[in-house]
Chain A
Amino acid sequence: MQTPNSSSRRIGALLIVAAIALLVALPMLVKGFFLFQITMVLCMALAVMGLNIVVGYGGQLSLGHGAVFAIGAYVAAVGMDSFALHWLPAVVIAGLVCLAFGVLFGWPSLRLKGHHLALATFALALAMPQILKHRSIETWTGGVQGVMVFNSPVPDWLPLSREVFVFYLVLAVVLIAFFGTAALFRSRMGRAIIAVKENQIAAASMGVNVTRTKLATFALSCLLTGLAGALYTLITEYVSPDSFDLMKSILLLVAVMVGGAGTILGPLVGAVFIQFVPNLAEQVSQSATSAIYAGFLLIMVFFMPTGVVGFVRGLLIRLRARR
């Protein structure tokens, strides 16, 4: 099997440019709820990109990225609500808090071998809604009520509606994360991350500090997912503890797998899936929504075991081989 050659890379670059152009023009084409949904897809894509770094490239399992998303969302919400922060520092602080959280949480879990990270993150995801509701932090988090954030993030000099402004903001962060991740995995550090996934002993004997690399992978993934959480607060203007349950973490994982673990474009495709397929399933049948959703998922698993992006890549390679 060949890795993508220059001509297919050029086609890929053209498609990406076209997609970006379409996204930039989107607020002029669609309005209201659909624009909101697309903004949500981009926000989820950012969260999935974060998880994809640790699962797809790092080869570690995290069942708790929904909780990291929640931390990002709450830090931004509390920052803007209780501490009257401007949205920009609130979002930046939320990202940094999640990065630090990734280091502190990942350090003990990643020193151990095997599935400890999966178990530890699973515990985190289970506990997160209750932690957010806990009485000791109720003054800031509002307990079961959650936090509402009403102040508009749009600067005075910009003639944009709130929805359109937030859309462009999310799009900008997603693009930076997208090209940043793509560059990372062509760099020395990114290759070390993949080497650790493929063969830890070989990576170590080539001079890679395995523990530190795993920790950096996890922390970086928490940064992206936490930023997505902070942007989520800007989109919905409201955070509540029960929207960040274990299911959130599982859905992010589903998106990684469906899109294509360890691919750059996979998270975007996966985010579209988890955002739109539930609605689609509801349109097919109101009474059996979950069953139909599960059906979609099973079809994906059977026909595209390497995710949509992996499937398309395989298809292109086979087509080229036939010519």
Chain B
Amino acid sequence: MSEMLLETRALGAGYGPVTVLRDIAVQIPKGQITALIGANGAGKTTLLRAISGLCATSGDILFDGSPITRLATNRIAARGIAHVPDGRGTLAGLSVEDNLLVGGYLQRRRAARAAGIERIYSHFPKLKQRRHQQAGTLSGGEQQMLAIGRALMQGPRLLMLDEPSFGLAPLIVRELFTIIADINRTEGLSILLVEQNVHQALSMSQRAILIEHGQVARSGPSAEFLGNDDIRRAYLGS
């Protein structure tokens, strides 16, 4: 098996008195797309938040071999984890380009930020057309592209996407996933993808993790998930 980029050990997470995740042990390999699937409320979003330091955790999270468990969110970002949250986190009052520039906050050199922006525009030509437009006035699909572009501006080693297809038209979703797969292929970027559209997620990823009731129910190559009858019945409706 290929090298692990991120690993959790006995990870628990929750909000205040509420425990959402228990004893989570997952491994995210380098250079691949890992799909995180499961029913609503299973704890997929909470796992991403736990990795980003956005909720209370117990246990350990190792990123590239070193623990990041109790680091502040901004330090975790500085280690190379970019998180596109559910709801996209668009900075609505800023222009598209300023959103991208904020994404490049960790790049201290102006030239590095400018180069990053050109790279994002090559992936998302639509963003270039709208570069001076206020981000809040973009369509849902464009806002999702902006959120991904902004995360890429960080120059991350792991990109975590929380339901990028949420609320988007099928045509836009297809376009978006083509770009995501393209970024993974051309740049070798490791991606952890939370997705409601299970078929889509499994067919574009190399590995998958199924979470049920706050625990890992199954993990392995995505192809095995697609071939499994229980998974097909429960999540693929066939």
Contact = CB atoms under 8 A, between A and B. Distances in A.
Interface of A: 1-3, 5, 188, 191-192, 194-195, 198-199, 201-210
20 contacts: A1-B133, A2-B134, A3-B95, A3-B132, A188-B105, A192-B105, A194-B93, A198-B91, A198-B92, A198-B94, A201-B73, A201-B85, A202-B89, A202-B90, A204-B54, A206-B74, A206-B102, A206-B106, A206-B154, A208-B102
B91 A195 contact: yes
Contact of B106 (A194, A195, A207): A207
Interface string B198-228: 0000000000000000000000000000000
Interface of B: 52, 54, 72-74, 76-78, 82-83, 85, 89-95, 98, 101-103, 105-106, 108, 113, 132-134, 137, 150, 154
B77 A1 contact: no
Contact of A206 (B54, B95, B113, B150): B150
B18 to A, nearest CB: 18
B134 A210 contact: no
Contacts of B132: 2-3, 5
Contact of B154 (A3, A201, A207): A207
A201 B85 CA distance: 9
A191 B101 contact: yes
A59 to B, nearest CB: 10
Given A198-B93, A205-B77, A3 B106 contact: no
Contacts of B137: 1
Nearest to A195: B102
- Those 7 A-B pairs whose CB atoms lie nearest each other, nearest first: A202-B89, A204-B73, A207-B77, A207-B106, A198-B91, A195-B102, A205-B83
A295 to B, nearest CB: 31
Contacts, number: 83
A5 B133 CA distance: 10
A202 B74 contact: no
A204 B82 CA distance: 11
Contact of A192 (B78, B82, B89, B102): B102
Contacts of A192: 102, 105
B74 A208 contact: yes
B74 A3 contact: no
B32 to A, nearest CB: 22
Contacts of A206: 74, 77, 82, 102-103, 105-106, 150, 154
B89 A201 contact: yes
Contacts of A188: 101, 105, 108, 113
Given A199-B89, A206-B77, A209-B74, 14 more contacts: A1-B133, A3-B133, A5-B132, A188-B101, A188-B105, A192-B105, A194-B94, A194-B98, A199-B91, A204-B72, A205-B77, A205-B85, A206-B82, A208-B74
Contact of A202 (B91, B95, B108): B91
B126 to A, nearest CB: 16
Given A195-B102, A202-B85, A205-B82, A3 B134 contact: yes
B102 A191 contact: yes
A5 B93 CA distance: 16
